[in-house]
Amino acid sequence: MNEEERAKIALKILNKTYPKTPIPLKHRNIFTLLISVLLSAQCTDVNVNNVTKNIYPKYNKPEHFVKLGRRKIEKLIRSIGIFRIKAKSVYNLSKTLVEKYNSEVPKTFEELEELPGVGHKTASVVMSQGFGYPAFPVDTHIHRLAQRWGLTNGKNVVQTEKDLKRLFPKKYWNKLHLQIIYYGREYCKARECYGISCKICTSCYPKRKKPIKTKKA
C-alpha cells in the first residue's frame, strides 16, 4: 500500500467519523481567534477557552488590549503556560494592528507572519478558520499522526505540511486539519494507540504488530 492509498483510507474514515468540524477555540471575531491561537501554543484548547470566556465579553478588539497594557494582560492569562511571553506578544500584536492595520487583522500569510508572536502555524489557522482560505496548519500532533499513518517521513512540520498538501486535494485542507486533530484526541492518542490500535492505523498497516516511534518535530 502506498501513501496515496493510505491518504484515501484516512480521508474516508475521517469524513465518516467527523462530518462536522466546529472550531475548537472559542472566539468572537477574527481578532479574538488570532489571540486564542497564539495563546494555545504549549497549552490545551480547553484551558485557553476557560481563560478567554472571562476576557472576550469585555476585551475583544486590539485597542482594548493596548489600553490594558502588558501587566494587566499577564494577570488575565496567568493560568496559561508561558503567560509573560504571550502577554508581551498579545500587547505588541494589538499595538501593531492599531497602528499599521486600522485595528483589522490582515488577510495574507506574509502580513500575519510579520505580527509579533505569530508564526506560520498560527497564520495558517487564522487564514483557514478565520478567512476560509485553503491552508493546512501542521502542529506537533498532526506531524505525529501523519507519520503513524504513513503519510510523511518528514523530520519537521514544514516537510509534513508539504507532504499532506501534496496527498490531499486543496478543497479538503481546512476541514481535514480539524478532523485530524479531533481524531488524534479521541482515537489515536500519543500514549494509547502507538500506531497499532485505532481504525486508521490498523487499516493503513494491518500487519503492524510493534508500536511505532515517531520523530519529534
Please identify every residue annotated as catalytic: 121, 139
In sequence order, the 6+-apart residues with CB closer than 8 A to the CB of 28 are: 56, 60
- Return the closest-CA partner of residue 80 out of 125, 112, 122, 35: 35
In 16-134, where do the E strands start and end? none
Q: Is 209 helix (H, G, I), strand (E, B) or coil?
A: coil
Pairwise CA distance, residues 17 & 180, whole Å:
10
Pairwise CA distance, residues 57 & 51, whole Å:
12
104 sits in the region (left: phi over 0; alpha: psi -120 to 50; else beta) called beta
Contact between 152 and 6 under an 8 Å Cβ cutoff? The reply is no
